[in-house]
Amino acid sequence: MYTGAMRELIKKVEATRPQRLGVQFPRMTAQEKDDILKENYPDYKDDKFRNLNVGVNKGSKVPQELAELLEAKSRLQDLDMDLTKFNYDVDVLIIGGGGAGASAALQANEKGAKVMIATKLRFGDANTMMAQGGIQAADKPEDSPEKHYMDVMGGGHFTNVKELVNALVTDAPESVKWLNELGVMFDKEDDGTMVTTHGGGTSRKRMHAAEDYTGAEIMRVLRDEVHNKQIEVVEFSPAVELLLDKDGKAAGAVLYNLETEEYLIARAKTVIITTGGAGRLHYQDFPTTNHYGATADGLVLGYRAGAELIYADAVQYHPTGAAYPSQIFGALVTEKVRSLGATPLNIDGEQFTYHLETRDVESSAFIRECYKRGKGIDTAAGQKGVWLDTPLIEMLLGEGTIEKRLPAMMRMYQKFGIDMRKDPIIVYPTLHYQNGGLLIDENCKTKVENLFVAGEVAGGIHGRNRLMGNSLLDIIVFGRRAGNSAGNKFKEVELKELSLDHVKAYHKSLDENGISTDKISPMLLPHYTHGSENDK
């Protein structure tokens, strides 16, 4: 429900609407984009980052909150574990139960591997489930993987690893076809043609969606398929450390059963990390769109074992997090709302930026409008935000469009007495995605032999800024590639004695570099109360 003061402000939005209808706001030039990013984007706040003192990326800049976890002690530091007895013994161990993990499992299973997924919470508690707006694939006649490639590179400011982008866009049409054939209910025209829309930074309409819960729909189907194939899934059992063999090759993980509080040994010929992102670290105190378990665990496990990080300092703040009401503060308002035509407006009802700039640029424009130009709207909870003029969608595309294309979003706002078909909503950037991560090659290999990585925990694909819909794509493309790689590789692996020597070596390196800490990682669960273990 809007307050009386907000209702007065909405009148200004309504007053400017007729003159804005059908008029496109000019896009920024390359120079304007560079300038607005440097002056406003959170990644450019140097005091919020620091250089790592240990590990493969010693000297590299990462967010303060992540540095603390990467330089923390292992949960196993005081435990004497018998590594000759195994609770699980498999060919391919997948750590993480989101879309990348499920895709990897299906592919490795197809190759004849004995596969196990170990997941921290329930199977499907993952950022995949939270993705709303769609998945990109250049599968229409006017589009091509080459055009998709150029968009991905442009969105990432040409910092992307080219081979990874090539893999992403080349596999995209086949990936969407695979999902469609598995049963994902994509939006289609009456004749069966896929409905596609634009996202920020796309030169063609290539966003395929299942209304505004695309990720949940994809996860529903993948999870069913994993169960159909009778692949073992161990829930509430996060990995707390990788196991290597005496030659330094990945050979399993120590799992922690959250219910029984036991540590369990999972031996594996190959390991795939698919643990997702880090939104629950709340970098720079931003709220997040991420699921409860997104605490950077995979970065910690991989880094301690010797895998390299790339662009760990590049973080995505989605421009449209809900800024009002406070009950949904930071929740995702899908980019699809803007791709259907909603535009951002300031307190005077004026548009101040093109509505589909890439996410980093769009977010910067919102931050500038609120804090440098003082033209944000004050919400009752002390937050600032800008209007997103959602009624414009119905005016541009016809009555009923919001109910048909954005039903979940419409219901979310209705719960709070806001009808987004009639009134604009208030939004502000929210922490959404980890652009960087563990460096992989196009077959998802890392620097550590027999260790593969896929999904949000991997880095390099999106450079320093990801475009909408390329994350759902990335988890499928690289999840499947990781599953294929591990599913081929396990056949030639002869397992040797398991070891945690790399953890001891890491602790030694912390000491040698003068790092004294009582922090423990991986974090596993976020802490929203004072005095918990990670507040130390």
Q: Which residues are catalytic?
A: 318, 338
Does the footprint of ligand MEZ cover residue 468 (CB under 6 A)?
yes
Does the footprint of ligand MEZ cover residue 40 (CB under 6 A)?
no
Least Å from the CB of residue 130 to ligand MEZ: 8
Q: From its phi and psi, is residue 346 left (phi > 0), alpha (psi between -120 and 50) or beta?
A: beta
379, two tokens: 């919400």
Cα dist. 71→490, 506, 516, 522, 531 in Å?
31, 9, 9, 10, 20
Determine the interface stretch with ligand MEZ among 17-25, 106-114, 466-474, 485-493 (rule: CB under 6 A).
466-474
Does the footprint of ligand MEZ cover residue 197 (CB under 6 A)?
no
| Interface characters, 82-121, with ligand MEZ (x: CB under 6 A) | ----------------------------------------
Least Å from the CB of residue 126 to ligand MEZ: 13
Instruction: Write the DSSP symbol of residue 516.
Output: -
Least Å from the CB of residue 93 to ligand MEZ: 27
Q: Which of 98, 101, 134, 522 binds ligand MEZ (CB under 6 A)?
A: 134
Does the footprint of ligand MEZ cover residue 502 (CB under 6 A)?
no
Does the footprint of ligand MEZ cover residue 469 (CB under 6 A)?
yes
Which string of DSSP letters, residue by residue, matches 223-292? HHHHHHTT-EEE-S--EEEEEEETTS-EEEEEEE-TTT--EEEEEEEEEEE-----GGG-GGG--B-S-T
Does the footprint of ligand MEZ cover residue 462 (CB under 6 A)?
no
Total number of residues that touch ligand MEZ (CB under 6 A)? 10
Least Å from the CB of residue 437 to ligand MEZ: 15
Does the footprint of ligand MEZ cover residue 132 (CB under 6 A)?
yes
141, two tokens: 């006649």
Nearest CA among 515, 512, 517, 519 for reference residue 534? 519
Does the footprint of ligand MEZ cover residue 471 (CB under 6 A)?
yes
Q: Which of 97, 133, 173, 321 binds ligand MEZ (CB under 6 A)?
A: 133
Nearer to ligand MEZ, 92 or 131 (CB): 131
User: Is residue 81 packed enough to be buried (19+ CB in 10 Å), middle (13-18) or exposed (0-12)?
Assistant: middle
Q: Which of 28, 92, 106, 131 binds ligand MEZ (CB under 6 A)?
A: 131
Least Å from the CB of residue 17 to ligand MEZ: 24
266, two tokens: 């999972």
Determine the interface stretch with ligand MEZ among 6-14, 129-137, 250-258, 346-354 (rule: CB under 6 A).
129-137
Q: Which residue is nearest to ligand MEZ (CB)?
A: 133
Task: Answer yes or no: are the C-beta atoms of 509 and 312 closer than 8 Å.
Answer: no
Least Å from the CB of residue 215 to ligand MEZ: 7
Least Å from the CB of residue 45 to ligand MEZ: 22
Nearest CA among 238, 237, 251 for reference residue 305? 251
494, two tokens: 């002869």
Does the footprint of ligand MEZ cover residue 360 (CB under 6 A)?
no
512, two tokens: 């040698």
Task: Answer yes or no: are the C-beta atoms of 448 and 244 closer than 8 Å.
Answer: yes
Determine the interface stretch with ligand MEZ among 88-96, 254-262, 414-422, 464-472 (rule: CB under 6 A).
464-472
Nearer to ligand MEZ, 111 or 336 (CB): 336
Does the footprint of ligand MEZ cover residue 336 (CB under 6 A)?
yes
Residues facing residue 239 across a β-bridge: 255
Place of tokens 């991989």: 302
Does the footprint of ligand MEZ cover residue 334 (CB under 6 A)?
yes
Does the footprint of ligand MEZ cover residue 346 (CB under 6 A)?
no
Nearer to ligand MEZ, 433 or 506 (CB): 433
Task: Answer yes or no: are the C-beta atoms of 294 and 521 closer than 8 Å.
Answer: no
Does the footprint of ligand MEZ cover residue 335 (CB under 6 A)?
yes
Least Å from the CB of residue 182 to ligand MEZ: 19
Helix (H, G, I), strand (E, B) or coil at 325: coil
Determine the interface stretch with ligand MEZ among 126-134, 237-245, 343-351, 366-374 (rule: CB under 6 A).
126-134
CA distance 111 to 482: 12
Nearer to ligand MEZ, 468 or 500 (CB): 468
Which string of DSSP letters, residue by residue, matches 153-201? HHHTTT-S-HHHHHHHHHHHHHHHHHHHHHT----B-TTSPBPEE--TT
201, two tokens: 């930074």
Interacting residue ranges for ligand MEZ, rule: CB under 6 A? 131-134, 334-336, 468-469, 471
